Amino acid sequence: MIKTSKIYVAGHRGMVGSAIVRKLEKEGFSNIITRTSKELDLTNQVAVTQFFDDEKPEYVFLAAAKVGGILANNIYRGQFLYENLMIQNNVIHQSYVHGVKKLMFLGSSCIYPKMAPQPLKEEYLLTDTLEPTNEPYAIAKISGIKMCEAYRDQYDCNFISAMPTNLYGYNDNYHPKNSHVLPALLRKFHEAKVNNSPTVEVWGSGSPLREFMFVDDLAEACFYLMQNYDEKQFVNVGTGVDLSIKELAENIKDVVGFEGELVWDSTKPDGTPRKLMDVSKLHNAGWHHKVDLKKGIEMTYEDFKLHHEQLTER
Encode pLDDT of 204-256 as tens digits: 999 999 999 999 999 999 999 999 999 999 999 999 999 999 999 999 999 99
Residues contributing to the annotated binding site: 11-17, 106-109, 141, 164-167, 180, 188, 203, 210, 270
Q: What is the pLDDT of residues 52-98, one digit of tens each?
A: 999 999 999 999 998 776 677 778 799 999 999 999 999 999 999 99
Number of H helices, E strands in the chain: 11, 13
Separation in Å, CA 212 to CA 55, 60, 89, 127, 269: 35, 25, 28, 24, 19
Residues contributing to the annotated binding site for NADP(+): 11-17, 106-109, 141, 164-167, 180
- Residue 247 makes CB contacts below 8 A (sequence gap 6+) with none
Give catalytic status of residue 137 as yes or no: yes
Domain-wise residue ranges, the chain: 7-172+212-240+275-291
Identify the band that residue 308 occupies on the pLDDT scale cut at 50, 70 and 90.
Answer: low
Instruction: Give the pLDDT score at 310.
Output: 57
Instruction: Give the pLDDT score at 313.
Output: 47
* DSSP class of 51: H
Catalytic residue among 8, 59, 137, 151: 137
d(CA 26, CA 78): 38
Q: What is the pLDDT of residues 68-79, one digit of tens each?
A: 766 777 787 999
Given a contact cutoff of 8 angstroms between Cβ atoms, the answer to whether 109 and 163 are in contact is yes
Exposure letters 175-187 (e unless 16+ CB within 10 A, then b): beebbbbbbbbbb
pTM score, whole prediction: 0.91
Q: Please give, one letter per residue, the 3-state secondary structure of 182-219.
A: HHHHHHHHHHHHHCCCCEEEEECCCCCEECEEEHHHHH
d(CA 281, CA 224): 13
- Residue 201 makes CB contacts below 8 A (sequence gap 6+) with 188, 263, 264, 265
Q: Is the dihedral of CA 107, 213, 248, 126 positive or negative?
A: positive
Closest CA to 142 of 158, 153, 156, 128: 128
Separation in Å, CA 281 to CA 140, 229, 277: 23, 11, 10
CATH of 7-172+212-240+275-291, one of 3.10.450.30, 3.40.50.720, 3.40.630.30, 2.70.98.70: 3.40.50.720
Residues contributing to the annotated binding site for substrate: 188, 203, 210, 270
User: Three-class SS of residue 306?
Assistant: helix
Please state, for a pLDDT cut of 70, what percent of the chain lies above it: 96
Instruction: Give the pLDDT score at 269.
Output: 79
d(CA 224, CA 230): 11
Kindly report the average pLDDT of the chain as a whole number: 93
Identify the band that residue 178 occupies on the pLDDT scale cut at 50, 70 and 90.
Answer: low
